[in-house]
Chains A and B, each alone.
Chain A
């Protein structure tokens, strides 16, 4: 690969020289295209989030190009290259290899939804020196000493660190007292395990919460009855329900409702976007999910109204999940880096990401458009979303909130 990449860089040097020589001509002609990649699952069980991410990317590219493309490159237009990363780690790795081999002129990419896939994809892109933006949470992604990965979302452990205290404050403000006991039902996927670890090792004690029920299942969940029975008999002040598959979420919520714990009898909180996906409404009624909250890394919020309306009109998506808004934002982040780099070269773009300091972020909650030495976005925050009358709306932080949160009253 050394040889190949040397060859490549020689070629890019040559083409760079040619570009300088032909600069005058180029300006007169139609601006060149700059390819950016989207590597997401478009087949298998994670198809749906992949499709939604594609919508976000397409909208982003459209808006950027409509507003004049990359100005530093003579108004060059962005072109999206979509690659299906399938539904297994192996397929993701193969797809990444295909991406770097078949599309040598990509300058950056974003993906790959599930953090296992992102792990595999970035193992390849790191070696090919292709910068990758990701909305995956796993701490491991940016703990490997990689130089070409940039995590826009707060990591899983950071999310629980940020989310739980906020949630407690919310509860105190709304209901007048702090929750004291908590039940935790979770699947054993990497994200849930990382979140639970942070909660159990530090946060519960810090917030004075007592863990009274802890149950773990392996997806798919076949029967939620024993889990919910335990919750009912323990009567906790707070239930953390952490599924990562819509079917698991549905089973659990239906059982909660069936046992008469729904509608806020026990305030229920999740840590993933699964529970706020539009798919949920296909299997459960708005009453079942009313009041349920989830702590997520990003969500369509105040200030995104025009985008949300466009998404609704164009793709018939009822609201904007993290997958759409983050991927949309990634396109703008790539544009920012290209403007800064001043050339369509992946290493220059990567360097631009590393040294970028573009002020407050518009499409990610909290913090700056700036990455630390690990590749994590500085000050990345979380959003709390609550189901209100059949729509999950942003209720925290206040500057992004679309509605006031309500804390379900224990009856």
Chain B
């Protein structure tokens, strides 16, 4: 059902496009109609890597050019048909993606973008040096069809459309699967993604391999259409820019973006060239540039998202909003009675002599504690006490300088975060990182994949997690529309969707009003009642005293004391650490 529904729009679009192109007999208009799917597919391949992961590639021409040259040179030197060469080109592009991705993914942000820029430029000179300045495809007068040389240019358009449809469907499948979710999670926050159990490097490598393969395949097809391959025309800066332009104009991170961009921009550029360029040579570039600047200014995320927002706004006005009370009604009300203290049962997590220093600063020194099954441990301490650093050591963001982290008796210190997540530790963050464009349910699904074997199972687990935090009434809303409290709950749901046994909560109550904090506390209590083991960092003492079974107090990276809440709150060292020496006497009274 779902598959069919998502398949229908691209199928209809492709059919409509095919019908239009079959009616065009002018070979020049037909060429433009062929170039639209070519650049759309190239934009889609860029989008697959950069749109979803947010790692901007300025160098997709590298793959495009490799495909184009493989297809051209294979015909010239080995007399192989492009029907065979284009799949070979795709393979080469995939390999190139892997080879380029492996070293380059060490970099992030602008550094990644700039490093990517270097590849096609370097390859361009290699091809010039090899003497491939101008390569023309040989005309096959006796077996044109076997060499993809159609007398009727409409066949090229149809072939281009077929590749575009395949790419759209592939992208849609990826978008909805764990692959797409992983990429989106990486885009929003790579660290959070790792913490949610996603092996980010592996997914990024898969993305660039696939992206490179698609780009190379369409590059090969483009060579077939262009008939002449020069390093500038396939490895040039303008080629890489073309992918960015169509995708950014149409919309980044959506399958329709590059398609929309290409359908509008490619014919526009050609028409301007043909019409305006004949009268005032060069004006076409100016108009084209201004048009792009205007669109980017008015719709910075691309046309698709702008249009979708407009449509959403209109439909939101039509259907009255769900009253917020309905959502709140689902939250378990706080029971004043403290829950039954967990018996000191089985040890889930044991920390032994854990230390970490940054240069001379000892952020965490010699911390040891045990987390028992079904216990809620509150980790408190003044700002800079090393609480978050401790969490980062526990879930693998940081490698300890010394000491051990034992999960179920196995030493996991120094493991990558996604490995530790698989071992059963979930966490939330002090700074929230929701995926604003996605619905609550989709946000939560990201966290479920670490346990789920199939996409369906992941959806089920995510839905279950959403119910547990009491957000089921708003599960379909986009995260961008939520309140802070709902976002906190959503983050909680994402953390528990992967069914961890131990949950690390980093200042989950920060920024909440009094009543709101109580609602969140109630949810956490319910989780504990259901058997979850929890460690929580928090500043709000009041809420903490009611919530936790025991406290661990840190100051200057070291444990001051630990024990039951009523004992710890009276401890003079704790008061001193929090409030200063002179308050110790006051507190005693």
Question: A residues touching B (Cβ–Cβ < 8 Å)?
Answer: 1-4, 42-44, 47, 82-84, 86, 88-91, 93-95, 97-98, 100-102, 115-116, 119-120, 123-124, 126-128, 138, 140, 144-146, 188-190, 193, 218
Q: Which residue of B lies closest to A99 (CB)?
A: B28
- Give the residue of A3, A98, A145 whose beta carbon is less than 8 angstroms from that of B139: A145
Indicate if B226 sits at the interface (CB-CB under 8 A): yes
Q: Which residue of A lies closest to B222 (CB)?
A: A90
Contact A188 B277 (CB under 8 A): no
Contact A42 B129 (CB under 8 A): no
Report the minimum CB–CB distance from B52 to chain A (whole Å): 28
Q: What are the residues of chain A within 8 A of B32 when measuring CB–CB? A: 94
Indicate if B281 sits at the interface (CB-CB under 8 A): yes
CB-CB under 8 A for A84 and B226, given A94-B273, A101-B29: no
Q: What are the residues of chain B within 8 A of A146 when measuring CB–CB? A: 139
Report how far A2 CA is from B153 CA in the complex, Å. Answer: 11
- Give the residue of B128, B232, B273 whose beta carbon is less than 8 angstroms from that of A89: B232
10 residue pairs A–B, Cβ–Cβ below 8 Å? A42-B277, A43-B277, A43-B285, A83-B278, A89-B232, A93-B226, A101-B26, A144-B136, A188-B128, A218-B125
Report how far A138 CA is from B135 CA in the complex, Å. Answer: 12
- Give the residue of B28, B233, B236 whose beta carbon is less than 8 angstroms from that of A98: B28
Contact B227 A94 (CB under 8 A): no
Contact A84 B273 (CB under 8 A): yes
Indicate if B230 sits at the interface (CB-CB under 8 A): yes
Indicate if B131 sits at the interface (CB-CB under 8 A): yes
Contact A115 B134 (CB under 8 A): yes
- Give the residue of A42, A93, A95, A188 whose beta carbon is less than 8 angstroms from that of B227: A93
Q: What are the residues of chain B within 8 A of A47 when measuring CB–CB? A: 281-282
Task: Give the interface centre of B28, B125, B131, B282 by most chain A CB atoms within 10 Å.
Answer: B28
Q: What are the residues of chain A within 8 A of B285 when measuring CB–CB? A: 43
Q: What are the residues of chain B within 8 A of A124 when measuring CB–CB? A: 227
- Give the residue of A3, A84, A90, A127 whose beta carbon is less than 8 angstroms from that of B278: A84
CB-CB under 8 A for A43 and B28, given A90-B233, A93-B227, A218-B128: no
CB-CB under 8 A for A84 and B133, given A43-B282, A89-B232: no
Report how far A240 CA is from B227 CA in the complex, Å. Answer: 34
Contact A123 B227 (CB under 8 A): yes
Report the minimum CB–CB distance from A254 to chain B (whole Å): 26
Contact B25 A193 (CB under 8 A): no
Contact A97 B27 (CB under 8 A): yes
Contact B26 A43 (CB under 8 A): no
CB-CB under 8 A for A90 and B134, given A1-B27, A101-B26, A188-B128: no
Q: What are the residues of chain B within 8 A of A140 when measuring CB–CB? A: 134, 136
Task: Give the interface centre of A1, A2, A83 by most chain B CB atoms within 10 Å.
Answer: A1
Contact B281 A101 (CB under 8 A): no
Question: B residues touching A (Cβ–Cβ < 8 Å)?
Answer: 25-29, 31-32, 35, 125, 128-129, 131, 133-134, 136-139, 151-153, 226-228, 230, 232-233, 236, 238, 270, 273-274, 277-278, 281-282, 284-285
Task: Give the interface centre of A86, A90, A94, A138 by most chain B CB atoms within 10 Å.
Answer: A90
Q: Which residue of A lies closest to B225 (CB)?
A: A93
Contact A93 B228 (CB under 8 A): yes
Q: What are the residues of chain B within 8 A of A190 when measuring CB–CB? A: 133-134
Report how far A94 CA is from B274 CA in the complex, Å. Answer: 10
Report how far A229 CA is from B29 CA in the complex, Å. Answer: 53
Report the minimum CB–CB distance from A408 to chain B (whole Å): 33
Q: Which residue of A lies closest to B137 (CB)?
A: A123
Q: Which residue of A lies closest to B274 (CB)?
A: A98
Q: What are the residues of chain B within 8 A of A127 when measuring CB–CB? A: 151
Contact A101 B136 (CB under 8 A): no
Q: What are the residues of chain B within 8 A of A1 when measuring CB–CB? A: 27, 151-153
Task: Give the interface centre of B152, B233, B238 by most chain A CB atoms within 10 Å.
Answer: B233
Q: What are the residues of chain B within 8 A of A189 when measuring CB–CB? A: 133
Contact B230 A89 (CB under 8 A): yes
Q: A90-B233, A116-B232, A193-B133 are in contact. List 20 more A-B contacts (CB 8 A).
A: A2-B152, A42-B282, A84-B278, A88-B233, A89-B228, A93-B31, A94-B28, A94-B32, A94-B270, A98-B28, A100-B27, A101-B26, A101-B27, A101-B28, A115-B134, A120-B227, A140-B134, A145-B139, A188-B129, A218-B128
Contact A119 B228 (CB under 8 A): yes
Task: Give the interface centre of B35, B230, B236 by most chain A CB atoms within 10 Å.
Answer: B230
Report how far A181 CA is from B139 CA in the complex, Å. Answer: 43
Report how far A4 CA is from B28 CA in the complex, Å. Answer: 13
Contact A88 B227 (CB under 8 A): no
Report how far A124 CA is from B278 CA in the complex, Å. Answer: 20
Contact A84 B238 (CB under 8 A): no
Q: Which residue of A lies closest to B236 (CB)?
A: A88
Report how far A84 CA is from B228 CA in the complex, Å. Answer: 18
Report how far A91 CA is from B278 CA in the complex, Å. Answer: 13
Q: What are the residues of chain B within 8 A of A3 when measuring CB–CB? A: 152
Report how far A98 CA is from B27 CA in the complex, Å. Answer: 8
Q: What are the residues of chain B within 8 A of A100 when measuring CB–CB? A: 27-28
- Give the residue of A4, A116, A144 whose beta carbon is less than 8 angstroms from that of B230: A116
Report how far A145 CA is from B129 CA in the complex, Å. Answer: 26
Report how far A3 CA is from B230 CA in the complex, Å. Answer: 31
Q: What are the residues of chain B within 8 A of A90 when measuring CB–CB? A: 226, 233
Q: What are the residues of chain B within 8 A of A88 when measuring CB–CB? A: 232-233, 236, 238
Contact A89 B226 (CB under 8 A): yes
Report the minimum CB–CB distance from A121 to chain B (whole Å): 9
Contact B153 A91 (CB under 8 A): no
Report how far A84 CA is from B284 CA in the complex, Å. Answer: 11
Report the minimum CB–CB distance from A124 to chain B (whole Å): 8
Q: What are the residues of chain B within 8 A of A188 when measuring CB–CB? A: 128-129, 133
Report how far A91 CA is from B273 CA in the complex, Å. Answer: 9
Q: What are the residues of chain A within 8 A of B270 when measuring CB–CB? A: 94
Q: Which residue of B lies closest to A95 (CB)?
A: B273
Contact A102 B277 (CB under 8 A): no
Report the minimum CB–CB distance from B43 to chain A (whole Å): 16
Contact A102 B28 (CB under 8 A): yes
Report how far A146 CA is from B227 CA in the complex, Å. Answer: 14
Contact A119 B129 (CB under 8 A): no
- Give the residue of A84, A89, A145 whose beta carbon is less than 8 angstroms from that of B233: A89
